[in-house]
Amino acid sequence: MVCEDCENRAVYISLSGRSLCSKHFKKYFEKKVMQTIKRYSLIEYGERILVACSGGKDSTALLSFLLRLMKNKRENIAAIAVDEGISGYRDVKLNGLVEFCEENNIPLHTYSFKEQYGFTLDEAVKISRENRLKIKPCYICGVLRRSLINTYARRLGFSKVATGHNLDDEAQTILMNYLRGNPSLLARLGPKTGIVEDEGFVQRVKPFYFCTEKEDAIYAILTGIEVDFVECPYHVENYRLEIRDFLNRLDSTIPGVKHSLVNNFLEILPLLKREYSARSIGRCRVCGNPSAREVCRACMVVEKIKPFLGGNVNREQ
């Protein structure tokens, strides 16, 4: 099969049936990302952008894309990574990221759970299991990671945090929150996250919002980013995994189902944001970060784990 724009071999067929070679796929992908950035004002001229990197293909491809986009303002871009302390996984992923940032001369700010909270994710999961705390690994990881990224993005003076979330991620999150009955969490989604504007929050933006996971992966390979396949050991305990496999199976029989889910959700998102924006936001009494609760979710996790640790734990802010 050949590309519809030239005679080269096609590497991808889009949902609308366009067959594209490497060169025209890259054009198609970058155009889609640029349209997303413009349509939702994700990045404004002169803004300082911190790219949240995991060492995986999505965030590294995003970093690579933004470097080209902001080639005249490279000083406005940096990467942040969180080492949760997942033995044999995150350390491997972060090695590749360190190399990429060194090669491209990008400042990389790395923070670890151990140094910030006093425990690794592996230790927290062990404590949770042994003491029947019933806190799932992905919950601990997600809540603490988001808190750290927001804290340091604000301290380092960045106006936006860009994440590599793609259409598949968003479709999964939408469905997960629908099925769990979490409309207030749904209201936080979209290409630009958040409901309430607060100086304590650094807005998160998702330039790859309308790109599928497959498109991200092809783009990463074609731009020379090494795509490995190391799975997080806690991934198998994840509700998201079930939803992901369900949506992929459904997409095989009803092509475009993930696109429809996300596009339909975007129609009702303004209503959800309006409904939930009236709720006031305060400050966590432990760490001072913005929170709708008296104690934020991150501090609640730390408070649950802390009593089972030897020695003192600092919640640095």
Binding mask 4-23 for other proteins (x = CB under 8 A): -----xxxxx-----x--x-
Binding mask 166-205 for other proteins (x = CB under 8 A): --x-------------------------------------
Q: Does residue 231 belong to the site contacting other proteins (CB under 8 A)?
A: yes
CB nearer to other proteins: give 26 or 315: 26
CB nearer to other proteins: give 72 or 252: 252
Q: Does residue 93 belong to the site contacting other proteins (CB under 8 A)?
A: yes
Q: How near is the Cβ of 160 to other proteins at its closest, in Å?
A: 22
Q: Which residues neighbour 16 within 8 Å (Cβ) at sequence distance 6 or greater?
A: none
Q: Could you write out the three-class secondary structure of the chain?
A: CECCCCCCECCEECCCCCEECHHHHHHHHHHHHHHHHHHCCCCCCCCCEEEEECCCHHHHHHHHHHHHHCHHHHHHEEEEEEECCCCCCHHHHHHHHHHHHHHCCCCEEEEEHHHHHCCCHHHHHHHHHHCCCCCCHHHHHHHHHHHHHHHHHHHCCCCEEECCCCHHHHHHHHHHHHHHCCHHHHCCCCCECCCCCCCCCCEEECCCCCCCHHHHHHHHHHCCCCCCCCCCCCHHHCHHHHHHHHHHHHHHHCCCHHHHHHHHHHHHHHHHHHHHHCCCCEECCCCCCEECCCCCHHHHHHHHHHHHCCCCCCCCC
Q: Which stretch binds other proteins (CB under 8 A): 33-41, 72-80, 119-127, 216-224?
A: 216-224
Q: How near is the Cβ of 225 to other proteins at its closest, in Å?
A: 13
Q: How near is the Cβ of 82 to other proteins at its closest, in Å?
A: 14
CB nearer to other proteins: give 202 or 232: 232
Q: How near is the Cβ of 169 to other proteins at its closest, in Å?
A: 8
Question: How many residues sit in the footprint of other proteins (CB under 8 A)?
Answer: 37
Q: How near is the Cβ of 217 to other proteins at its closest, in Å?
A: 4
- Ranges of beta strands (E only) in 31-112 are 49-53, 77-83, 108-112
Site residues (CB under 8 A) for other proteins, limited to 111-170 = 138, 168
Among 67, 156, 238, 313, indicate the residue that binds other proteins (CB under 8 A): 238
Q: Does residue 45 belong to the site contacting other proteins (CB under 8 A)?
A: no
Q: Is 288 left (phi over 0), alpha (psi -120 to 50) or beta?
A: left
Site residues (CB under 8 A) for other proteins, limited to 50-89 = 54, 56-58, 89
Q: Does residue 214 belong to the site contacting other proteins (CB under 8 A)?
A: yes
- Residues interacting with other proteins, by CB under 8 A? 1, 9-13, 19, 22, 54, 56-58, 89, 93, 138, 168, 212-214, 216-218, 221, 227, 229-232, 234-235, 238, 244, 248-249, 251-252, 258
